Structures are given as structure tokens and as C-alpha cells.
């Protein structure tokens, strides 16, 4: 169900960084994110959220803060967020919920009444480090459906109570931890590589450091550096997956050709063509040629360094792409519906051991935080060592004097006394990940650097622990942006939403939103009129202009013109004066040519909606000449001019000169004449449709069975038509209001100009 929530723009970063909106009381007890929420005076409830079936209009009077109206459009799942129906106010359903509503770019839009408010709100949170997906949420303009201030005066009965508050708070806090755990694991998948590539990465970084040292020494260095470079180069090529793949292809090809491998290698080496031949072989096989120190020599160490980095990055990138393509969220995690725990779903030994560790560390144990990791690292390591002992014994593994016990004790001593810790002596990937977390878990960059320095190939376990410790909300935007830029992100993100919230997300992930262009002044009025009838008139009035522009053909940059048309509507507020509106629209430079003249589309719209003003500026249109053939010169009044809002003259619409009469029943142009009526400002399409049907009925005979009720002369037919437009007996009649009655009276005068007896 699509519902709307009224709030303040001061809450934008709060809402987008947590990707949720909650009753006010939750913010004070959360252990993450903002501890406050700006409430509206019109919605003073603390323990429930109030939602509406239509868009509410409201204003915020806050002289101390730059608070602007914001409406959240949310697709609410009632099975997850139970709703209580409070009232039906003039067709607007009002609901309350005492639950937290989870938001995503798939189910939420942020709506504003003014473009200035939209851009200001987006800008205010654009530099927020915790606003990770804010640029993927849709920020849009809206037109209100009802006045919230009027609704608030009806004294609605709202049960401002949250059931099971403590349990919901616990689940909310735990969900932040679990979401951090899942995204940390996802980040770990994106950084994991093969064992060989992990070694390449470590070698490449060491080569980079040596090259930097040599450069800083002016290109001079001792032989030990050059010897180390040679050893690193050999080690790199031994672990290079492209070299290994090429070697297999080389041996296979020689076997197929019956050529002894050893003899050919000796021959190629003898004539110094071994490298050339094998490089050409790699190219023929579609394998990326490797980078070797011998290609560049010691005099071009910087070039060797740069190309080696580029080569390594390509290898890592391809492997990580494969890792992400096989990542299945739903089959990876086993989430307790109550958010008590989140385990790995795998049945392999690593998953089983890791589940026991995270149960002891995260879900039912010490639950370290970044701060406690910094200040109490040794005690945390001690508690984890105790857990490791229990885990080893519960899985029937020997703990006493085992490599696991020695490693964990060495880890504790390293923390306490800075004694050396040889990570590579430990083969168990879980224990190595635990060590990385305990030593560096308060900072992502430190964890990743530690893993790279020690040739870790699997980052999943260490980064999932880091993610759970910091929580999703505190994860910074640059960290997550590395994931969002990958092609697989949208589908993986949908799967994470389905896992955490049990909701299927539809549609594509919105692209990054661009700012809305603003040309009008800050004091523009919002698109709102206080009365519902007037609001209907305003919406129809605006829609008539939109529709006319839409049907115009061959209009350059129409999409941009449409956007500026909406901006003009916002600046125009609740006024329905065609003259003033098109004068305002002409202030936009995009609606003018390079010479400052109005564009053709603008002229067409003015000719249609304001034929009198069009005739003054551009000459009379044929319709206008026919309609105003006997217009007295003295019938004019002061009005706005289209070009600069200066005082000018326009024809008075309150009186109309007569022209030669024809029968309204038989005139084929009667509908077009009615459509051109300058007083027909709302319900234009509806009234013209009523007339067309009305005219057809009279053409076929007398209207209705009573032939004596109305005569077939123009005066009676026009009178009958005008009454029929407002008649309760007419299923297509427009609403009977004083404004509509006055408009119909003016239409009657207008019709009698041409159709009189």
C-alpha cells in the first residue's frame, strides 16, 4: 500500500543513513545513528507513525532552524508494518503504526513542494559519510491533496502507545548489527582472491615500496634492493595465474606436436628468443602477457612498478568479478526471523567453526565495539581464546599444545608485549581471520592492509566480523560505493533486502539523481491551494497546460521544457491566471530563443490559452478575429504584459460583443468555439465533451422526451446546456460550486455572442 508520511527536511540524513523511519521514542534508545528526530507540531505523537493515503500539505514555522516540508512516499507492507486505521477525512485515509518502516530506493520517494527545498535537502546530506545510498533514492516534486492543518483540527483519536517496545528496540539494534555483518561479508567477497593472487598482491606492494625508495634516493640504491627485486620478480612469475595457464597450454601444445619440451626450451634459450617466442604464444592463446623485470631493467624501475601494478590490478579485478557473480545471499546466510542470530548456511567445516565463533563473539558473547577493541584488546583476545578452546573441544579436536592454542597464545602475547606473531604459520583460515579482526578490527583500512600484507586470500570472515562490530549505519559511503558501482550490486542488494526484511523489491535500482534546476526566486509559493475544490481546479488547470504542451509536435528539448514548466507551476503557486502564468514562464531563458524572443511552443500555448494577449503581441489569430469582430476600442483594462511583467492592455472578458449568429445545434465549429472560451479555465475537456454529446442529441431531434421543455432556438439551447453542465441528473456533470457556477455563467455569455436569436 502506497502511503505518505509528513516530516521535516532536518531528518533527511537521519532517514537515509539508517534507511528507516521510526516513531520518535525509538531514536532516544537506539545504540546507533541519530538519537533524536524532529517532529512536526501538527503530528505530536511519540510512539507511533502517522501515515496518509494522499499527499498532505503543511508548512513549518521554525525561526531557529532551516526546516522545510518533506513527504515520504512509502510502499508499506502491512504484514511487516501492521496498520491501524484511524479515520477517513474527506477521502483521505489516516493510519498509524508502532513499528519501524524499513526504506530502500525500491519502495521510497522523497517528495517536496518546492524545487529549492528539494535541492537544499539533497545538498544538506550529500557530504554525509553515513548516507550510503542517498543518491540512489528518488527526490521528486509533488502536489498536495489535502491540508494537514485542517485535518489536525478534527481531534482524531490516536492511541499513542507502542506495544512490545523493548523487544522492538532490541530487534532494531540487532538488525543494525546483522546488516553490518551481511554487508561486511559481501565486502569480503568482493575483495577475496585466489591464494596465488594474494601472493602477487603482496609482491607487487613490496616492489612498489622498493621503487619508491630508489626514487627518493635519486635513482641510487644498494645491491640488496636489486637482488630483492630479482627474487620478487621470479616469485611473482611462479605465482602468476597467466604464466601458469600459459605453461600448461605450452606443454600441451608441444605434446600434441611431438616436440620434446626440454630440448626446445634449450634451443630457444641458446638463441635468446625464449621470451619472444613465449610472449607471442601467449598472445596467440589470448592470455595477457606477463610483466617481467627483464623487460625494463634496473634503469626503468618506475615503469616496471607501474606496469606491474596495472597487470596485478587486472588479475585481481577479474577474479573478484568471478567471486561476486557466484555470490548468492539467500544460500549464504541463515537468519533467525527474530533477529537473534545470523549464521552462515554452509555445512563445510570452516562455516561450522566460524558460526561457533560468531555466536560466542557477536550474538551471545562479548560483542566488542570499535572503542573496546582499541582500549581493551588484550581482554577481548583472552575471551576469544577461551571460546576457541571450547570450540575445539566441542568438535573433538585436541586443544592442548595444538597449533591453534599456540597461535592464540602468541596473538595475546603480541598484543600484550609486542612479541612477533607469524600469521603465515597458521593454516586455519578462521583463526587467521579472527587474528586480523582482534588486531585491526576497529578500522576497515587497517584490516584490509593487514590481510594484504599477510597474503590473505579470503577476506569474508574478517570483514564480516568488522561489519557486525561497527554496524551498518556507521559504515561510510566510500566503503559501500565500491560495491554500488559494480554491475551485480542491484540484484545483490535486492537479495539482502529480501533476507533482512522478507520483502521482494521490484523494478530497477534508480540511477544517481541529478539536482533539479532552479531559476525562480526563493520566495516561490508551493503548489497548494487550501480548499479541496480549489485544489481540483488547480490540478485540472495545470493539467490542461501540460496536455497541450505534450501534444505539440517537433518541440526541441521538450523534456527540459517540461521540467521548467513544473518549476513555473511551483513558483506560480495557487494562482490560475493564464496571462500571469505565461508571463512567468517566459522569464525562463530556455523558453526563449537566443535573441530573447519566445520560442514557438510558448507562442502556440499562448495562442491557445490567451488568444487576446496573443493577438496583441503577434497579431490576431483567425478564431480571435471571428470572435471579436466588433470589439469596442474602449473596452480595455490594465494587465500584465508577457515580457517583463509591465503594465499593458487586454480586452475585458466580462462583456462580449455580438457577431453574426448561426445555429448552435448545426454549427460544426461550435465545440472549437467553446474550447477557445477565455473563461473556460477548468474542466475544459469535460465541458467540451458534454457539449459534443449535447449537440448530437439536439441534432437527432428534441433533447429528452419532453419536446416542449426546451425550444430549439439558440437562447434556449445555450441555457439548457449551461444548466446541464451542473445538473445532478447528468452523470458527467462538473461539481456544483460557486466558482464553477460563475464560470458557467461567463461561458453562457460567451456562447450567446455567436449563438443568439
**Residue 681 scores a pLDDT above 80:** no
Q: Is residue 195 part of a domain?
A: no
Same domain? 110 vs 25: yes
- Letter string b/e over residues 218-245, b meaning 16 or more CB atoms within 10 A of that residue's CB: eeebeeebeeebeebbeebbebbbbbee
Q: How far, in Å, CA of 106 to CA of 43, rounded?
A: 26
Q: How many residues in total does the chain contain?
A: 757
Query: Total domain count for the chain?
Result: 4
Short-list 35, 9, 5, 10, CA closest to 21: 5
Q: Is residue 345 part of a domain?
A: yes
pLDDT score at 532: 46
The answer to whether residues 19 and 137 touch, using CB atoms and an 8 Å cutoff, is no
**Residue 655 scores a pLDDT above 70:** no
Same domain? 153 vs 6: yes
pTM above 0.85, yes or no: no
pLDDT score at 673: 84
Between 91 and 284, the higher pLDDT residue: 91
Mean pLDDT of 130-142: 91
Helix locations, 441-518, DSSP H: 444-453, 460-470, 477-484, 489-501
pLDDT score at 65: 87
- Residue 85: beta bridge partners? 95
Percent of the chain whose pLDDT exceeds 70:
88
Q: Is residue 279 part of a domain?
A: no
Residues 6+ apart with CB under 8 A from 546: 562, 565
> Which one of 431-435, 555-559, 671-675, 698-702 scores highest in mean pLDDT?
431-435
Same domain? 76 vs 130: yes
Lowest mean pLDDT among 66-75, 103-112, 236-245: 236-245
Q: Is residue 398 part of a domain?
A: yes
Between 560 and 372, the higher pLDDT residue: 372
Between 431 and 599, the higher pLDDT residue: 431
Q: Is residue 121 part of a domain?
A: yes
Same domain? 391 vs 420: yes
The answer to whether residues 448 and 191 touch, using CB atoms and an 8 Å cutoff, is yes
**Residue 734 scores a pLDDT above 60:** yes
Same domain? 572 vs 711: no
Same domain? 32 vs 135: yes
Between 536 and 273, the higher pLDDT residue: 273
The answer to whether residues 462 and 451 touch, using CB atoms and an 8 Å cutoff, is yes
Residues 6+ apart with CB under 8 A from 730: 690, 724
Q: Is residue 22 part of a domain?
A: yes
Q: What are phi and psi of 90, to 5 degrees?
A: 50, 45
Give the model's confidence band at 512: pLDDT under 50 very low, under 70 low, under 90 confident, else very high: low
Residues 6+ apart with CB under 8 A from 144: 55, 56, 57, 113, 526, 527, 528, 535
Percent of the chain whose pLDDT exceeds 90:
43
Same domain? 712 vs 602: no
**Residue 430 scores a pLDDT above 90:** yes
Short-list 685, 661, 636, 679, CA closest to 757: 661
> Mean pLDDT, the chain, as a whole number?
84
**Residue tagged 529549492 (cell numbers):** 116
Same domain? 643 vs 679: no
The answer to whether residues 155 and 41 touch, using CB atoms and an 8 Å cutoff, is no
Q: Is residue 351 part of a domain?
A: yes
Q: Is residue 248 part of a domain?
A: no
Q: How far, in Å, CA of 717 to CA of 732, rounded?
A: 18
Same domain? 613 vs 691: no
Same domain? 347 vs 483: yes
**Residue 702 scores a pLDDT above 70:** no
Q: What are phi and psi of 333, to 5 degrees?
A: -115, 150
Give the model's confidence band at 535: pLDDT under 50 very low, under 70 low, under 90 confident, else very high: low
Same domain? 15 vs 123: yes
Short-list 637, 658, 638, 650, CA closest to 678: 650
pLDDT score at 619: 53
pLDDT score at 509: 82
Between 623 and 162, the higher pLDDT residue: 162
Q: How many CB atoms lie within 10 A of CB 468?
A: 28
Same domain? 633 vs 712: no
Alpha-carbon distance values, 689 to 581, 686, 695, 716 (Å): 26, 5, 10, 19
Lowest mean pLDDT among 432-436, 655-659, 705-709, 732-736: 655-659
Give the domain-ending residue among 113, 141, 163: 163
Give the model's confidence band at 684: pLDDT under 50 very low, under 70 low, under 90 confident, else very high: confident
**Residue tagged 626514487 (cell numbers):** 215
pLDDT per residue as tens digits for the range 293-346: 877 777 788 888 888 988 888 888 888 888 888 899 999 999 999 999 999 999
Residues 6+ apart with CB under 8 A from 252: none
pLDDT score at 709: 56
The answer to whether residues 98 and 47 touch, using CB atoms and an 8 Å cutoff, is yes
Give the model's confidence band at 657: pLDDT under 50 very low, under 70 low, under 90 confident, else very high: very low
Give the domain-ending residue among 590, 621, 651: 651
**Domain limits at 428?**
338-493
Give the domain-ending residue among 457, 477, 493: 493
Q: How far, in Å, CA of 123 to CA of 722, rounded?
A: 52
Give the model's confidence band at 59: pLDDT under 50 very low, under 70 low, under 90 confident, else very high: very high
C-alpha cell at 726: 451542473
The answer to whether residues 571 and 521 touch, using CB atoms and an 8 Å cutoff, is yes
Give the model's confidence band at 617: pLDDT under 50 very low, under 70 low, under 90 confident, else very high: low
Amino acid at each position: 500500500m502506497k502511503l505518505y508520511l509528513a516530516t521535516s527536511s532536518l531528518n533527511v540524513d537521519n532517514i537515509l543513513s539508517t534507511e528507516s523511519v521510526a516513531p520518535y521514542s525509538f531514536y532516544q534508545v537506539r545504540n546507533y545513528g541519530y538519537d533524536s528526530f524532529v517532529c512536526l507540531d501538527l503530528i505530536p505523537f511519540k510512539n507511533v507513525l502517522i501515515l496518509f493515503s494522499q499527499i498532505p500539505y503543511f508548512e513549518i514555522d521554525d525561526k531557529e532552524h532551516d526546516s522545510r516540508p518533506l513527504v515520504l512516499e512509502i510502499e508499506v507492507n502491512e504484514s511487516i508494518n501492521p496498520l491501524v486505521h484511524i479515520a477517513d477525512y474527506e477521502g483521505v485515509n489516516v493510519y498509524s503504526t508502532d513499528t519501524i518502516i524499513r526504506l530502500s530506493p525500491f519502495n521510497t520517494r522523497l517528495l517536496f513542494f518546492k524545487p529549492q527545498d528539494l535541492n537544499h535537502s539533497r545538498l544538506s546530506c550529500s557530504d554525509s559519510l553515513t548516507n550510503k545510498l542517498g543518491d540512489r533514492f528518488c527526490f521528486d516534486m509533488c502536489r498536495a491533496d489535502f491540508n494537514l492543518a485542517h485535518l489536525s483540527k478534527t481531534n482524531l483519536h490516536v492511541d499513542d502507545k507502542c506495544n512490545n517496545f523493548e523487544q522492538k528496540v532490541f530487534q532494531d539494534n540487532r538488525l543494525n548489527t546483522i546488516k553490518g555483518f551481511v554487508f561486511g561479508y559481501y565486502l569480503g567477497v568482493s575483495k577475496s582472491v585466489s591464494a596465488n593472487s594474494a601472493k602477487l598482491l603482496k609482491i607487487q606492494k613490496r616492489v612498489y615500496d622498493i621503487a619508491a625508495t630508489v626514487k627518493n634516493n635519486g635513482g641510487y640504491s644498494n645491491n640488496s634492493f636489486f637482488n630483492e627485486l630479482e627474487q620478487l620478480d621470479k616469485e611473482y612469475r611462479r605465482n602468476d595465474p597467466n604464466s601458469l595457464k600459459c605453461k600448461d597450454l605450452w606443454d600441451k601444445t608441444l605434446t600434441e606436436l611431438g616436440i620434446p619440451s626440454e630440448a626446445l626450451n634449450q634451443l630457444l634459450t641458446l638463441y635468446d628468443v625464449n621470451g619472444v617466442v613465449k610472449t607471442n604464444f601467449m598472445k596467440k592463446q589470448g592470455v595477457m602477457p606477463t610483466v617481467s623485470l627483464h623487460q625494463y631493467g634496473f634503469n626503468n624501475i618506475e615503469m616496471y612498478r607501474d606496469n606491474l601494478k596495472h597487470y596485478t590490478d587486472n588479475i585481481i579485478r577479474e577474479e573478484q568479478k568471478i567471486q561476486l557473480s557466484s555470490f548468492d545471499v539467500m544460500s549464504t546466510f541463515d537468519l533467525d526471523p527474530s533477529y537473534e542470530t545470523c549464521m552462515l548456511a554452509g555445512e563445510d567445516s570452516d562455516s561450522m567453526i566460524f558460526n561457533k565463533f560468531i555466536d560466542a563473539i557477536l550474538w551471545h558473547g562479548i560483542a566488542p565495539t570499535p572503542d573496546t577493541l582499541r582500549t581493551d584488546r588484550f581482554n577481548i583476545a583472552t575471551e576469544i581464546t577461551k571460546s576457541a578452546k571450547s570450540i575445539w573441544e566441542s568438535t573433538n579436536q585436541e586443544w592442548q599444545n595444538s597449533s591453534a592454542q599456540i597461535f592464540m597464545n602468541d596473538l595475546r602475547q603480541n598484543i600484550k608485549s609486542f612479541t612477533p606473531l607469524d600469521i603465515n604459520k597458521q593454516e586455519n583460515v578462521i583463526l587467521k581471520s579472527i587474528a586480523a579482526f582482534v588486531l585491526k578490527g576497529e578500522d576497515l583500512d587497517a584490516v584490509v592492509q593487514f590481510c594484504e600484507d599477510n597474503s590473505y586470500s579470503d577476506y569474508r570472515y574478517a570483514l564480516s566480523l568488522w561489519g557486525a562490530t561497527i554496524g551498518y549505519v556507521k559504515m561510510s559511503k566510500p566503503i559501500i560505493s565500491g560495491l554500488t558501482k559494480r554491475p551485480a550490486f542491484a540484484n545483490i542488494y535486492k537479495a539482502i533486502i529480501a533476507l533482512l526484511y522478507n520483502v521482494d523489491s521490484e523494478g530497477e535500482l534508480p540511477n544517481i539523481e541529478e539536482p533539479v534546476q532552479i531559476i525562480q526566486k526563493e520566495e516561490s509559493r508551493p503548489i497548494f491551494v487550501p480548499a479541496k475544490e480549489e485544489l481540483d481546479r488547480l490540478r485540472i488547470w495545470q493539467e490542461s497546460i501540460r496536455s497541450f504542451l505534450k501534444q505539440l509536435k517537433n518541440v526541441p528539448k521538450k523534456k527540459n521544457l517540461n521540467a521548467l514548466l513544473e518549476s513555473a507551476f511551483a513558483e506560480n503557486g495557487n494562482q490560475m491566471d493564464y496571462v500571469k502564468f505565461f508571463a512567468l514562464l517566459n522569464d525562463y531563458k530556455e523558453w526563449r530563443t537566443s535573441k530573447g524572443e519566445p520560442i514557438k511552443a510558448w507562442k502556440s500555448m499562448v495562442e491557445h490559452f490567451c488568444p487576446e494577449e496573443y493577438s496583441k503581441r503577434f497579431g490576431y489569430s483567425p478564431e480571435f478575429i471571428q470572435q471579436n469582430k466588433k470589439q469596442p476600442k474602449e473596452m480595455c483594462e490594465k494587465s500584465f504584459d508577457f515580457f517583463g511583467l509591465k503594465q499593458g492592455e487586454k480586452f475585458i472578458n466580462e462583456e462580449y460583443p455580438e457577431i453574426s449568429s448561426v445555429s448552435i445545434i448545426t454549427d460544426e465549429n461550435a465545440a472549437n468555439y467553446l474550447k477557445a472560451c477565455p473563461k473556460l479555465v477548468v474542466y475544459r475537456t469535460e465541458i467540451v465533451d458534454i457539449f459534443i454529446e449535447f449537440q448530437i442529441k439536439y441534432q437527432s431531434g428534441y433533447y429528452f422526451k419532453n419536446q416542449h421543455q426546451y425550444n430549439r432556438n439558440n437562447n434556449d439551447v445555450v441555457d439548457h446546456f449551461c444548466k446541464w453542465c451542473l445538473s445532478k441528473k447528468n452523470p458527467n456533470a462538473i461539481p456544483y460550486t460557486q466558482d464553477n457556477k460563475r464560470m458557467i455563467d461567463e461561458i453562457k455569455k460567451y456562447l450567446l455572442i455567436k449563438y443568439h436569436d
